[in-house]
Structure 1
Amino acid sequence: MMLGFLPRRLAILPWKVIFAITGLSLFGTAVLYSAAGASMQPWATAHLMQFAVFLVLALAVRMMGLNLLRQVALPAYGACLFLLLLVEIIGQVGGGSQRWLSLGPLTIQPSELMKLSIIMALARFYEMLPAAETANWKATGLAAAIMGAPAVLVLVQPDLDTALVLIVAGAVVMFLAGAPLRLFMLAGGAAAVLAPLAYFFVLQPYQQVRLISFIDPESDPLGAGYHVIQSKIAIGSGGIFGKGFLKGTQGQLQYLPEHHTDLVFATLFEEWGLFIGLGLLALYLWLFHWGYRTARRSTSRFGKLLAAGVTTTVFFYVAMNMLTATGVTPVMGIPLPFISHGGSAMMTIMLAFGLIMTVEREELRLHDEREQFRL
Structure 2
Amino acid sequence: MTASALTRPGQRDRLSEKITEIDWRLVILLAVVGGTGAMMLYSVGGGWSPWAADHVIRFSVMTVVMLGLALIDLKWWFRAAYPLYGLFLLLVLMTEFTPLGYTAGGARNWLNLGFIRLQPAEFIKFGLVLALARWYHAHSAQDARLSWKLLIPAAMVGVPFLLVAKQPDLGSAMLIALTGAAIMFLAGLSWRIIAVGVGAAVAIIPPFVMFVMHDYQRNRVLTFLNPEADPAGTGYNIIQSKIALGSGGLLGRGFGLGSQSQLEFLPERHTDFIFSALSEEFGFVGSFTILLCYAAIVLISLRIASLSYSHFGRLAAAGIASTFALFILINGAMVMGLAPVVGVPMPLLSYGGSSMMTLMIGFGLIMAVRVHRYSELPKGQALF
TM-score range, shorter chain: over 0.9
Counterpart Cα distance in 2 of 1:102 and 1:262: 22
Equivalent position to 1:175, from 182, 185, 191: 185
How does the TM-score come out when normalised to structure 2? 0.90
Q: Which stretch shifts more, 315-324 or 90-99?
A: 90-99
The correspondence of residues 54-203 of structure 1 with structure 2, limited to 5 A, is: 54-90=62-98, 91-203=101-213
Q: Separation in 1 of the partners of 2:61 and 2:335?
A: 28
Contact 1:266 1:325 (8 Å CA) reproduced: yes
Offset of 1:7 from its aligned partner? 5.1
Consecutive unaligned residues of structure 2, counting only runs of 5 or more, are 1-14, 377-384
Q: Which residues in structure 2 correspond to 1:219-298 (within 5 Å)? A: 219-298=229-308
Partner Cα distance (1:259, 1:69) in 2: 36
Over residues 191-249 of structure 1, what are the superposed CA-to-partner deviations in whole Å (9 max), with x where a residue is unaligned?
Answer: 22221221122211111111111111111000111111111111111000001111110
Deviation at 1:13, TM superposition (A): 2.8
Residue 79 of structure 1 and its aligned partner are, at CA, apart by 1.5
2:337 maps to 1:327: yes
- SS of aligned partner of 1:99: strand
| Separation in structure 2 between the aligned mates of residue 54 and residue 170 of structure 1, nearest angstrom | 25
Q: Post-superposition, which runs of at least 4 consecutive aligned residues in structure 1 deviate over 6 A?
A: none
Q: Are positions 1:310 and 2:297 aligned together?
A: no
Q: Distance in 2 between matches of 1:108 and 1:199?
A: 28
Going from structure 1 to structure 2, the CA distance change for 1:364 and 1:283 (only over 3 Å counts) comes to farther
Contact 2:22/2:70 (<8 A) preserved: no
The answer to whether the 8 Å contact 2:248/2:281 transfers is: yes
> Deviation at 1:99?
1.4
| 1:19 corresponding residue in structure 2 | 28
Return the letter of the residue paired with 2:38: T
Q: Is the contact between residue 347 and residue 356 of structure 2 (CA under 8 Å) also seen in structure 1?
A: yes
Cα distance in 2, alignment partners of residues 345 and 274 from structure 1? 26
**CA deviations over 1:26-78 (Å, ceiling 9, x no partner):** 111111111012x1110100110010111122122212221001101011111
Q: 2:44 aligns with which of 35, 45, 49?
A: 35
Which one is further off, 95-104 or 266-275? 95-104
SS state at 1:25 partner: helix
Q: Give the superposition deviation at 1:108.
A: 2.0
Cα distance in 2 for residues equivalent to 1:183 and 1:251: 45
Report the secondary structure of 1:134's partner residue: helix
Would you say the 8 A contact 1:259–1:267 is kept in 2? yes
C-alpha displacement of 1:250: 0.4
User: Partner letter of residue 96 of structure 2?
Assistant: E
State the one-letter code of the partner of 2:56. Answer: L
- Alpha-carbon deviation of 1:363? 2.1
**Alpha-carbon distance between aligned partners in 1 of 2:152 and 2:18, rounded to the nearest angstrom:** 40
Give deviations 1:12-36, integer Å, cap 9, x for gaps.
3322111111121111111111101
Deviation at 1:260, TM superposition (A): 0.9
Q: Distance in 2 between matches of 1:200 and 1:332?
A: 16
3-state SS of 2:108 partner? strand
Q: Distance in 1 between matches of 2:244 and 2:114?
A: 42
Q: Deviations over 1:141-176 (max 9, x none)?
A: 111111101100111011111011001111111111
Cross-structure match for 2:346: 336
- Preserved contact between residue 140 and residue 179 of structure 1 (Cα < 8 Å): no
Q: What SS does structure 1 have at the residue aligned with 2:145? A: coil
CA RMSD of aligned residues (A): 1.6
Q: Paired residue for 2:214?
A: 204
Q: Any conservation in 1 of the 2:143–2:150 contact (CA below 8 Å)?
A: no
1:181 positional shift: 1.7
TM-score, length of structure 1 as denominator length: 0.92
- Does the C-alpha gap of structure 1 residues 335 and 327 become closer, same or farther in structure 2, counting only changes over 3 Å? same
Per mean C-alpha deviation after superposition, the further-off stretch among 328-337 and 258-267 is: 328-337
Instruction: Name which structure has the greater RCO, CA cutoff 8 Å, separation 6+.
Output: 2
Q: Deviations over 1:286-325 (max 9, x none)?
A: 1111011011111111011111111011001111111111
Letter in structure 2 aligned against 1:238: G
Pairwise CA distance, 1:8: 4.3
Equivalent residue for 2:367, pick from 357, 364, 372: 357
Question: Equivalent residue of 1:64, what SS?
Answer: coil
User: Which deviates the most, 117-126 or 87-96?
Assistant: 87-96
